Amino acid sequence: MVQKVILFFIICSVCLLSSCVSKEMKEVGGMAHGNHDLKPKVNTVPEARFPLDTSWKTEYLLEIKGESPFLEKRTVVSMQKWRDEIIEFSKTQETVFINGPNKKQVALTFDDGPDSTVTSAVIGVLDQYGVKGNFFFLGSEAQRHPMVVKEAYEKGHLVLSHSYHHVQLDKLGEAEIRNEIKQAGAVIEAIIGKEPALVRTPYGSTNELVADVAKENNYSIILWSIDSLDWAQKNTDVIYSNVVKNIRNGDIILMHADSDEYDTYEALPSIIEELQGLGYEIVDLETLLGVPAYQENQKS
């Protein structure tokens, strides 16, 4: 009997631990997979269907900022490794963006929605301050909450893609990567009449094959230069500090707007006020980067 009780506790502890780990891996930027493979997997790079003036990318590439006292040391090390690798990778990719040009403009981005509460609340705050947000919605969740997708679009925010299932695209084959991108695009198009042309790969996991498949389908990949680390803890002060103390021209700021992220919603008004007080214009990604947010034939 005693052995059975001990066994039960061991099993419960393992389950609890693994559920914590999976939560922590939410948007870690590569730390979900220690052995990050950024090596080329295909030999032919297709031509982009739209000409982009990305010459500024080679002149102005920011380090990725954001830290938290709540992260374990090994997590911080793994995250930093990913940050260094992805910056090097973005130098080789015309359509993979870490930040925008050296102007006094920044973009607020929100991943993992839509949900039934926090996404709309975040939209409400953005509208209150008259600023545009960028929502990287999951195809699976967009299907469940189409009215929230519509609300974001109708209020002038960008409705973008975070793939369909929130899986690591760099672990998939070419056809599966294409399905993740195109399936999410089709769901969003069915709701707002436009297919996005910007995708944020889940966990920031990106390699040359992912970048090539995205490019073939006329998508640019948008990563981030500031991680608010709102996925790592429930602490509005850390979220606020990560954004306002690290802010630079052209920053793309990673936050989340799903039901786990009430703290992000709470930190948002002070973040917007501080950024505006510092003279930054908060813009959408199309304005920041000069790339189309939606597929070319669907431009307004």
141 binds Zn ion per the rule CB under 5 A: no
Among 111, 151, 212, 258, binds Zn ion (CB under 5 A): 111
Interacting positions 1-30 with Zn ion (CB under 5 A): 27
Among candidate residues 115, 162, 256, 258, the one labeled active-site is 256
Strand, coil or helix: what is 154? helix
Comparing CB distances to Zn ion, the nearer of 114 and 202 is 202
- If phi > 0 it is left, if psi is from -120 to 50 it is alpha, else beta; for residue 143 that is alpha
CB atoms within 10 A of CB 59: 8
Q: Which residues contact 275 (CB under 8 A, 6 or more apart)?
A: 106, 243, 244, 247, 282
251 binds Zn ion per the rule CB under 5 A: no
Q: Look-up: residue for tokens 């991108």?
A: 181
**Stretch of 32-40, 94-102, 110-118, 211-219 lying at the interface with Zn ion (CB under 5 A):** 110-118
**Total residues interacting with Zn ion, rule: CB under 5 A:** 4
Comparing CB distances to Zn ion, the nearer of 111 and 141 is 111
For 87-122, give one letter per residue: b (16+ CB within 10 A) or e.
bebbeebebbbbbbbeeebbbbbbbbbbbeebbbbb
Shortest approach of Zn ion to residue 188 CB, angstroms? 15
Distance CA 180, CA 176 (A): 6
Tell me if residue 256 is catalytic. Answer: yes
Comparing CB distances to Zn ion, the nearer of 223 and 244 is 223
CB 149 within 8 A of CB 159: yes
Tell me if residue 165 is catalytic. Answer: no
Interacting positions 167-206 with Zn ion (CB under 5 A): 202
112 binds Zn ion per the rule CB under 5 A: yes
Residues annotated as catalytic are 111, 256
The residues binding Zn ion (CB under 5 A) are 27, 111-112, 202
